[in-house]
Amino acid sequence: MSQDVERVYTVNLGKVLLSPDNQRAKRAVNMIKEFARHHLKIEQVKLEEDVSHLLWARGIKHPPRKIRVRMTKTDEGYVLVSKYEGEEESIEKEEEKTEPQKVEPSKVEPEKEEQSLKVEPEPAAKPEPAAKPEPAAKPEPAAKPDDVPEFFKKKDEEIKKKPKSKSKD
């Protein structure tokens, strides 16, 4: 095999949620390796560090639901799984294409002249008065026994009135 075979796949990791939450990222790694073995027909699979970071970014309990990867068959006889970054490049190209076209300068100039006539210089900003230091807050006294609601007072009185029962031992 003189030339590397390269393919881009979206691997669905939804079934990761079937495993216990403390093993989900590990299962996601195994699912990607299994997917690569199945589609590229080679047993030995290696994940790049970027893919691993992508899977583990939100911790072991919350891996992504799907991941876009580039799988490459190498001459050494293994499959290399790497993060797919082609979409970002195409998005940048689309943004360049959608930039607004240049407007004729003759139409823009009269508007600028009108705006420049209306603009008045702003008055100099007044310095803000220095903030006065706030007095130190007095610590609030601990709750007084008089602050207890009536319900609790009545209950306490009832408990005090009842004689303690003696054990029958």
How confident is residue 161, by pLDDT bands cut at 50, 70 and 90? confident
Residue in the block written with tokens 């495993």: 19
47-103 residue pLDDT tens: 999 999 999 999 999 999 999 999 999 999 999 999 999 765 555 656 666 655 555
Residue 30 predicted with pLDDT over 50: yes
Residue 45 predicted with pLDDT over 70: yes
Residue 119 within any structural domain of the chain: no
Residue 106 within any structural domain of the chain: no
- CATH for 16: 3.10.440.10
Residue 32 C-beta-side C-alpha neighbours within 13 Å:
30
Residue 73 within any structural domain of the chain: yes
Q: Which domain holds residue 9?
A: 5-86
Whole-angstrom distance, CA of residue 7 vs CA of residue 35: 13
Distance of CA 11 to the CA centre of its chain: 21
Q: How far apart are the first and last CA of the chain?
A: 94
5-25 residue pLDDT tens: 999 999 999 999 999 999 999
Backbone φ and ψ of 138, nearest 5°: -80, 135
Residue 142 within any structural domain of the chain: no
Whole-angstrom distance, CA of residue 56 vs CA of residue 125: 51
Q: Evaluate whether 32 touches 47 at the Cβ level (below 8 Å).
A: yes
Residue 41 within any structural domain of the chain: yes
Tell me how many domains the chain contains.
Answer: 1
110-144 residue pLDDT tens: 555 555 555 555 666 666 666 666 666 665 555 55
Residue 140 within any structural domain of the chain: no
Q: What is the pLDDT of residue 1?
A: 46
Residue 55 within any structural domain of the chain: yes
Residue 144 within any structural domain of the chain: no
Q: What is the pLDDT of residue 159?
A: 74
What is the signed CA dihedral for 49, 54, 57, 62, rounded to 10 degrees? -130
Residue 24 parent element (H or E)? helix 24-40
147-158 residue pLDDT tens: 666 766 777 777
